[in-house]
Amino acid sequence: ARRLRAVPPPCPAAGVSQVTVRDALNQALDEELERDERVFLLGEEVAQYDGAYKISRGLWKKYGDKRVIDTPISEMGFTGIAVGAAMAGLRPVCEFMTFNFSMQAIDQVINSAAKTCYMSAGSIAVPIVFRGPNGASAGVAAQHSQCFAAWYGHCPGLKVVSPWSSEDAKGLLKASIRDDNPVVMLENELLYGVPFEMSEQAQSKDFVVPIGKAKIERQGTHVTLVSHSRPVGHCLEAAAVLAKEGVECEVINLRTIRPMDIETVEASVVKTNHLVTVEGGWPQFGVGAEICARIMEGSAFNYLDAPAVRVTGADVPMPYAKILEDNCLPQVKDIIFAVKKVLNI
- Give the active site residue among 31, 144, 167, 325: 144
**Pairing mode of beta strands 256-258, 159-161:** antiparallel
Q: Torsion angle of alpha carbons 149, 73, 20, 320, nearest 10°?
A: -60
DSSP assignment string, 260-295? --HHHHHHHHHHHS-EEEE-SS-STT-HHHHHHHHH
Q: Is residue 189 annotated as part of the catalytic site, yes or no?
A: no
Contacts of residue 27, Cβ cutoff 8 Å, sequence gap at least 6: 19, 170, 203
CB neighbourhood size of 154 (10 A): 15
Q: Is residue 200 annotated as part of the catalytic site, yes or no?
A: no
- Give the active site residue among 75, 95, 167, 266: 75
Contact by Cβ (8 Å): 65, 47: yes
**Sheet harboring 215-218: ordered strands across?**
215-218, 249-253, 223-227, 275-278, 309-311
Q: Distance between CA atoms of 281 and 54, rounded to whole angstroms?
A: 25
Q: Distance between CA atoms of 69 and 91, rounded to whole angstroms?
A: 14
The H-assigned helical ranges of 179-311 are: 231-243, 262-272, 287-297
Indicate the residue type of 238.
A
Contact by Cβ (8 Å): 71, 78: yes
- The maximal CA–CA distance of the chain, rounded, in angstroms, is 60
Contacts of residue 231, Cβ cutoff 8 Å, sequence gap at least 6: 278, 279, 280, 311, 330
Contact by Cβ (8 Å): 224, 239: no
* H, E, C per residue of 80-100: HHHHHHHHCCCEEEEECCCHH
Residues annotated as catalytic (active site), given as ranges: 75, 144
